[in-house]
């Protein structure tokens, strides 16, 4: 469990990135922090592994204040996935995945052979092991980033806009795979994104942030979509837009779901089954 | 050509002397400049004094420097140690700035990723910053290697033998073949050391070729 207890981050010069933020991320659940730039979401994420120290308040992992843990081993014990994978450009794929175990003292040979298994786990051909990051596609780099974060088998994963740099089709694919992986691994995941659809696709709980990391609304994706707390959240989730206002139309005896622009998005399941041969 | 064949053993000896005077200052200035350059790149307080200070070294003419160094260090005026010290100072004058630029060229997002994955400061330097500073550092090192090889010849004026001795001797005694041999061999040594730097860079930075391909 990750716990933010009234944390504040004020930079020299008076900029307040986080005013007063409290949150509990329950063990084995995925919590998505969503907000536009300046909402302080990345600052919050970096407080967990002490890349940012709060000016006031405390972050606790399983009840232990992170300030009481040395930053370097703390970071090795937490998986961190960065935008565009955040890979080391001068190391091969296998060496990137093996980064944390090798830093922690495991032999390079053992860590590399473990890395091959992890590559398969995130859907990559182990034949890519000896390539360099620049030789991979954006989606492949992201997968390597996820494999690296999993290498030390951490119980906590922090993800900072991990799928922001890939095209929408690959992004959806990666999101689906991450959901499958999470169903199997049950990590405690804190996830940061500016993309509300990504937050809805991955979060068990979604926290919509305003400037200064003020919580505009928190709830399950369904709750937030069903009743946005205010105009800010409503416009953030796009409530009332054509994409979010679905209607049913009868077509050849089947019920097709269409959006506000009459564009079809799917068929109601009961009908689909009846129609199947 | 007859001059060369008659004096071959002398030329070989001078070539060896030249290498023994060139290689140590190149390596020493690299070893000294890397930490200083890292300090200059990472600290606003140290940046200006370090870069200005080492840069000014290059403004000192070489002959006076050959005389100042023995006065300060107690080395004999005509000793290799004097030349090596002087050329190390000149090497640092170029390389500290080059190293500072090299470390500044390490992408911030890579540094951040290294921090997030739990690199200690030591691991950050050796495993991330130094290799990624490599290409820019190597470019400066090549300049230093070539300039050091040519500066070694100046030592001949105060009587420290190197390929430069072929110039001083050749001028005094009016032997053109000696002067020509000195010029050609100095250039050849510079080429060879430059090539060695490039080769070392290829071996040490395999990712650059893989990515370019």
pLDDT confidence of residue B182: 93
Q: What is the dihedral of CA A32, A134, B124, B136, to 10 degrees?
A: -140
Interface test with B, best of A50, A81, A98, A99 (most B CBs within 10 A): A99
Cβ contact (<8 Å) for B112 and A82? Answer: yes
**Nearest chain B residue (CA) to A91:** B207
| Band of pLDDT at residue B1, cut at 50, 70 and 90 | low
Question: What pLDDT, on the 0 to 100 scale, is given for residue B66?
Answer: 86
CATH architecture of B8-204: Orthogonal Bundle (1.10)
Residue A85: its pLDDT value, please? 83
Range with the lowest mean pLDDT among A174-188, A195-209, A234-248? Answer: A234-248
Q: Is the pLDDT of residue B89 over 90?
A: yes
ipTM of the complex as predicted: 0.86
Place A141 in a pLDDT band, splitting at 50, 70 and 90: very high
Band the pLDDT of B197: cuts 50, 70, 90.
very high
Confidence (pLDDT) at B211:
73
Nearest CA in chain B to A86: B113
Average pLDDT over residues B61-75: 88
Query: For residue A271, what pLDDT is reported?
Result: 53
Contacts of B210 in chain A (CB under 8 A): 131-132, 135
Instruction: Round the average pLDDT of chain B to a whole number and report it.
Output: 92
Taking residues B127-135, what's their average pLDDT?
96
Q: Do A100 and B118 touch (CB under 8 A)?
A: yes
Nearest-angstrom CA–CA distance, B194 and B190 = 6
Over the stretch B77-87, which tens digit does the pLDDT of each residue have? 888 999 999 99
Contact A103 B119 (CB under 8 A): yes
- For A19, the token pair is 């005013």
Q: d(Cα A226, Cα A221) in Å, to the nearest integer?
A: 8
Q: What is the pLDDT of residue A16?
A: 93
For residue B209, name the pLDDT band (cuts at 50, 70, 90): confident
pLDDT at B117 over 60: yes
Residues of B with Cβ-Cβ distance to A135 under 8 angstroms: 210-211
- The token pair at B169 is 């001797």
Asked if residue A243 has pLDDT above 80, the reply is yes
Q: Is A127 left (phi over 0), alpha (psi -120 to 50) or beta?
A: alpha
Give the pLDDT band (50/70/90) at residue A274: low
Could you give the angle at which helices B62-73 and B80-104 cross, rounded to 10 degrees? 110
B65 against A64, higher pLDDT: A64
Q: Which residues of B touch A69 (CB under 8 A)?
A: none
Report the mean per-residue pLDDT for chain A: 92
| Residue A256 main-chain phi, psi, to 5 deg | -100, 135
Tokens of B103: 């470390």
pLDDT bracket for residue B213 (50, 70, 90): low
Contact A90 B132 (CB under 8 A): yes
pLDDT at position B78, please? 85
Q: What is the mean pLDDT of residues A57-79?
A: 96
pLDDT, tens only, A75-122: 999 999 998 889 999 999 999 999 999 999 999 999 999 999 999 999
Which of A190-199, A253-262, B72-81: highest mean pLDDT?
A190-199
Q: Does the structure show a pLDDT above 80 at A275? A: no
Least CA distance to A134: which residue of chain B? Answer: B211
Subunit contact A51:B123, Cβ cutoff 8 A: no
In chain A the domains, ranked by start, together with CATH numbers, are 2-230 (3.40.50.300), 240-277 (no CATH)
Instruction: Break chain B into its structural domains and give their ranges.
Output: 8-204
Smallest CA–CA distance from B204 into chain A, residue: A90
Chain B residues within 8 A of A77 when measuring between CB atoms: 118
Give the pLDDT score at A64: 96
Give the pLDDT of residue B84. Answer: 94
**Is residue B151 within 8 Å of B62, Cβ to Cβ?**
yes
To the nearest whole percent, how much of chain A has pLDDT over 90? Answer: 76
pLDDT score at A204: 96
Binned at pLDDT 50, 70 and 90, residue A272 comes out as low
> What is the SS3 string spanning chain A?
CEEEEEEEEECCCCCEEEEEEEEEECCCCEEEEECCCCCCHHHHHHHHCCCCCCCEEEEEECCEEHHHCCHHHHHHCEEEEECCECCCCCCCHHHHHCHHHHHCCCCHHHHHHHHHHHHHHCCCCHHHHHCCHHHCCHHHHHHHHHHHHHCCCCCEEEEECCCCCCCHHHHHHHHHHHHHHHHHHCCEEEEEECCHHHHHHHCCEEEEECHHHCEEEEECHHHHHHCCCCHHHHHHHCCCCCCCCCEEEEECCEEEEECCCCCEEEECHHHHHHHCC
Q: What is the mean predicted confidence (pLDDT) over B187-210?
A: 94
Give yes or no for residue A170 having a pLDDT over 80.
yes
């Amino acid at each position: 469990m990750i716990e933010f207890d009234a944390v504040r981050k004020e930079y020299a010069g008076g900029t307040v990135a986080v005013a007063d933020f409290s949150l509990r991320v329950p063990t084995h659940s995925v919590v998505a922090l969503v907000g536009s730039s300046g909402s302080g979401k990345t600052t919050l994420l970096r407080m967990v592994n002490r890349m940012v120290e709060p000016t006031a308040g405390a972050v606790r992992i399983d009840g232990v204040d992170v300030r009481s843990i040395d930053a370097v081993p703390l970071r090795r014990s937490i998986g961190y996935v960065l935008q565009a994978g955040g890979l080391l450009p001068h190391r091969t794929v296998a060496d990137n995945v093996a980064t944390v175990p090798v830093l922690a003292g495991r032999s390079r040979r053992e860590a590399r052979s473990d890395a091959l298994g992890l590559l398969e786990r995130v859907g990559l051909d182990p034949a890519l092991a000896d390539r360099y990051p620049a030789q991979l596609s954006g989606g492949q780099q992201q997968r390597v980033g996820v494999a690296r974060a999993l290498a030390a088998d951490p119980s906590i994963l922090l993800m900072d806009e991990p799928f922001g740099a890939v095209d929408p089709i690959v992004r959806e694919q990666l999101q689906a795979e991450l959901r499958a992986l999470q169903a199997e691994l049950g990590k405690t995941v804190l996830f940061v994104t500016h993309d509300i659809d990504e937050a809805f696709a991955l979060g068990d709980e979604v926290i919509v942030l305003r400037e200064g990391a003020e919580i505009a609304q928190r709830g399950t994706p369904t709750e937030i979509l069903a009743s946005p707390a205010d105009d800010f959240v409503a416009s953030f989730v796009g409530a009332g837009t054509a994409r979010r206002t679905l209607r049913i139309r009868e077509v050849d005896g089947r019920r097709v779901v269409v959006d506000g622009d009459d564009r079809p998005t799917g068929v109601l399941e009961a009908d689909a089954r009846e129609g199947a041969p | 050509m007859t001059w060369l064949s008659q004096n071959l053993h002398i030329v070989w000896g001078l070539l060896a002397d030249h290498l023994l005077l060139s290689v140590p200052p190149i390596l020493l200035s690299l070893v000294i400049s890397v930490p200083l350059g890292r300090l200059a790149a990472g600290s606003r307080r140290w940046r200006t004094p370090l870069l200005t200070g080492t840069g000014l070294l290059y403004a000192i003419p070489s002959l006076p420097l050959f005389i100042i160094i023995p006065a300060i260090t107690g080395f004999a005026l005509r000793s290799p140690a004097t030349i090596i010290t002087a050329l190390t100072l000149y090497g640092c004058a170029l390389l500290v700035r080059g190293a500072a630029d090299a470390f500044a060229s390490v992408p911030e997002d890579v540094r951040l990723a290294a921090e997030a994955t739990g690199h200690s400061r030591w691991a950050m330097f050796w495993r991330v910053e130094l290799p990624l500073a490599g290409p820019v550092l190597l470019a400066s090192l090549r300049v230093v290697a070539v300039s050091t090889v040519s500066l070694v010849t100046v030592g001949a004026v105060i009587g420290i033998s190197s390929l430069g001795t072929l110039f001083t001797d050749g001028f005094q005694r009016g032997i053109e073949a000696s002067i020509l041999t000195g010029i050609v061999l100095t250039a050849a040594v510079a080429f060879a050391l430059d090539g060695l730097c490039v080769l070392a860079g290829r071996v040490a930075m395999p990712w650059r070729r893989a990515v370019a391909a």
